Structure 1
Amino acid sequence: MKITDVEAIPFAIPYRKPLRFASGEVRAAEHVLVRVRTDDGVVGVAEAPPRPFTYGETQAGIVAVIERIFAPQVVGLSLLEREVVAQRLARTVSNPAAKAALDMAIWDALGRSLDVQVTELLGGYTDRLRVAHMLGFDEPAAMVAEAERMRDRHGITTFKVKVGRRPVSLDTAVVRALREGLGDDVDLYVDGNRGWTAAESARAMKQMNDLGLLFAEELCPADDVLGRRWLVSRLDVPFIADESAVTPADVTREVLGGSATAVSIKTARTGFTGSQRTHHLAEGLGLEVVMGNQIDGQLGSACTVAFGSAFKLTSHRAGELSNFLDMSDDLLTEPLEITDGELAIRPGAGLGVEIDPDKLARYRQDN
């Protein structure tokens, strides 16, 4: 079970409509497929979604760092030496999506080698997650219509609403329209992607106080240390640290500093090994956890549900698993299906998914 080769293949698949939010927008899934091969002929896969406006990574940068720096450091290691892999990757700063995809591809290869599902290797708590859908910037009527479509077609009843625009009244009007249009049978929470100031955030949350929101996520800049502490102390809902809490050390700083009371775990930026560390820390600190979405494709969503279903804490809330529905196509041989508001892990070893070679040939960018 030794690693013999690592590939990083850039590909691009258009979205049917762009997803817009305070820190940027996404019109195409310009991602990187990572493949790990072993001396037993096993191939593990994962997906790296670069987010230059959040972490500074680009598609070309992910390919370069994996091929030139990471691959030489892991080739020759056993699939079981995951801590050695983690420490070698840690020598290079940043590059979270590149590190995460390589880590998850190794876990997928390990599961395939042992004929065990990744979620069983991680914890095996359940086999599915309830699904939350992210709603990007749009007019109130359009966002309500999208939420109704997701509820009616897929049974989704939890929605994460992107906010952070100016004036603030645009966003509060949208959230109010969603509550009035969908009723009290759905769960709503807001994500500012650091777009508001602390004062704007406090005012907006006061205006939405009667809407029964589950959470507020990254409403104001992470480097506004005093403003965030002031804001969080005035909220009556958990405040989720997302972009500000990539590592366990970040989580510790944000929570003990009074800047957050919950955490988003995104396997796309911490893989399975790093996500385990964050999960265990959150469990020890008694934090709420939400499985987040880095606007993943279906392969990335399969990784998220594999991790989220492995633990009681991460499966308690709906995970952000559905934005692949906005993509015009995907790479998997069998598309993921959300049924009755849930996404189940795939049967079979590893992640239980396979890459369609014809689709990869069609969408890869390095030909």
Structure 2
Amino acid sequence: MKIVRVEAIPFAIPYAKPLRFASGEVHTADHVLVRVYTDEGLVGTAEAPPRPYTYGETQESIVAVIDKILAPQILGLTALEREAVHARLDRTVGNPTAKAAIDMALWDILGQAAGMPVSGLLGGYTDRMRVSHMVGFAPADEMVTEAERIRDTYGITTFKVKVGRRPYTEDVAACRALREALGDDIELYIDGNRGWSAAESARALREMADLGLLFAEELCPADDVLGRRWLVAQSPVPFIADESATRTGEVTRELLGGSATAISIKTARTGFTASQRVLHECEGLGVEVVMGNQIDGQIGTLCSVAFGAAHRWSTRHAGELSNFLDMTDDLLTEPLRIKDGTLRVREGAGLGIAIDPEKLDRYRKDR
């Protein structure tokens, strides 16, 4: 199963409505389809979603780094030599989603070769995950309407609320409106995308103390080292590190430094190999994890649920697996279906990713 070619195809699919949050907003899924080809005819597939305001990657930079730097370094290696692949990829700093997509495509190849689902190779704990839905910036009544629609249509009862605007007016009011409208049977947690200061975060958490929040995520920047430690020490709920914990070393730094008490795992930035390392570190320390969302399309969501469902520790909480619902289309021949608040792992060998060639031709940007 020697690697003979790596393909990076840029494509763009509009969102039905933009997703807005403190560090930016997304109107179009400008993603990259990554395929790894082997000499035995097996092809692994994954998706790289650029987030320039978080990691500095763009669609163009992902295509360029794969074509010009990453792919040439791994040609001739086999899909089994993942450690050797990563040793070569890590010679180039940054570019997390480009590297993650290559890693997941290699796991897809291994699953196909073994005739097993990747989720089974990773651990095989269960075949589905509960789903959490992200609610983006909007007036409070619109956020409530969206959450009610998602609950009633898909059975989802966990909501991640984007905050980071005006903490004492818009954000707190929106969270309170959601709790009052949806009742005590749903789970709420907040994500600030580094939009508040530590002092603003502390006050906002006090004002929301009666809302029963499940988590608070990245309310203030990780670079505010002392302020964030001060905030986390008094936080009434587990504090999730997300953008600040993109590698295993950063996870260690945030947890042992007192800057976080929980971790968001995103396969879009750490693939399966590094995500397992992060998960096992967190499990060993007794730290909660949440399967996060890189505003993934359906391909990326398939990868997230395959990993999350494979491990007992990552199924303790609902995974952020629903943001593809806001896209107007996708590349899969068989769309994902959320039913009764859960998403199932695809059956069959590998990741179960089958690309519709007509849709790929319609949305790709390199022709």
TM-score normalized by the length of structure 1? 0.99
Q: Is the 8 A contact 2:33 2:48 kept in 1?
A: yes
Once the two structures are aligned, what percentage of the paired residues are identical? 71
Tell whether 2:4 aligns with 1:25.
Answer: no
Structure 1 unpaired stretches of 5+ = none
Q: Which residue of 1 aligns with 2:214?
A: 214
Shift of 1:166: 2.3
3-state SS of paired residue (2:100):
helix
Mapped partners of 1:113, 1:32: distance in 2: 24
Q: Is the 8 A contact 2:14 2:27 kept in 1?
A: yes
Q: Which residue of 2 aligns with 1:269?
A: 269
Structure 2 unpaired stretches of 5+ = none
Q: Which residue of 1 aligns with 2:92?
A: 92
Matching residue's letter, 2:15: Y
3-state SS of paired residue (1:32):
strand
Mapped partners of 1:248, 1:6: distance in 2: 26
Number of residue pairs the alignment of both structures matches: 367
Matches within 5 A, 1:1-367: 1-367=1-367
Mapped partners of 2:58, 2:353: distance in 1: 25
Q: Is the 8 A contact 2:167 2:201 kept in 1?
A: no
Shift of 1:168: 3.4
Matching residue's letter, 1:49: P
Mapped partners of 1:55, 1:80: distance in 2: 28
3-state SS of paired residue (1:307):
helix
Say which is worse superposed, 260-269 or 107-116, in terms of deviation: 107-116
Mapped partners of 1:117, 1:110: distance in 2: 9
Mapped partners of 1:68, 1:110: distance in 2: 25
Mapped partners of 1:177, 1:343: distance in 2: 27
Matching residue's letter, 1:174: A
Mapped partners of 1:167, 1:302: distance in 2: 34
Mapped partners of 1:256, 1:92: distance in 2: 27
3-state SS of paired residue (1:220):
coil
Q: Spell out structure 1 runs of 4+ moving beyond 3 A.
A: none
TM-score normalized by the length of structure 2? 0.99
Mapped partners of 2:8, 2:312: distance in 1: 33
Matching residue's letter, 1:138: A
Shift of 1:63: 0.1
Mapped partners of 2:167, 2:92: distance in 1: 40
The C-alpha deviation readout for 1:16-44, integer Å capped at 9, x for no partner, is 00000000000000000000111111111
Cα distance change of structure 1 residues 274 and 44 upon mapping to structure 2, 3 Å threshold: same
3-state SS of paired residue (1:116):
coil
3-state SS of paired residue (1:200):
helix
Matching residue's letter, 2:89: L
3-state SS of paired residue (2:98):
helix
Mapped partners of 1:248, 1:304: distance in 2: 18
Mapped partners of 2:30, 2:318: distance in 1: 26
Mapped partners of 1:118, 1:26: distance in 2: 30
Shift of 1:167: 4.9
Mapped partners of 2:166, 2:172: distance in 1: 11
